[in-house]
Amino acid sequence: MQVALGAEDAESASSDFDQAVEYYTRAIQLLPQDEEQVPFYLSIILEAYWFDNKPLLVVIPLIMRMQISIQRSLEFWENSQLGLTQNPNIQASLAFGRDVANANLPGHTIAKPLKMVCNSPLHCQQIIGRY
């Protein structure tokens, strides 16, 4: 992710973000699906998607996967110090997913890039509240 953020052109950045997504995806595949790190890695992938300006069509399945992952993780990690239920990245991602699922984004379609919906993954919840 850091390499992509420091890229000098959009093409290099996009390639680096894709590589970061690939690395985090591989890491997720190596972990048990109820591991508490899985939702965090998914939120990092969401952040990479945002910086790479991926369309909602790509982002929505990721958010759905994050929701399932949190449900699985909470069975074992509900009282973890990582705080799955209070992490701002995860909460913003889930709130954004709920609003998309409820069609609370007037004028936005799933083909539009994520950046056209919110300014950052961490601020999706605040910006969606304006609609």
Q: How confident is the model at residue 26 (pLDDT cuts 50, 70, 90)?
A: very high
The pTM assigned to this predicted structure is 0.71
Residue ranges making up the domain that contains 53: 2-128
Q: Where does residue 53 fall: left (phi above 0), alpha (psi -120 to 50 degrees), or beta otherwise?
A: left
The predicted-structure confidence for 71-114, as pLDDT tens digits, reads as follows 888 777 776 666 666 677 777 777 777 766 665 555 555 555 55
Total domains, the chain: 1
105 forms beta bridges with: none
More confident residue, 102 or 3: 3
More confident residue, 3 or 105: 3
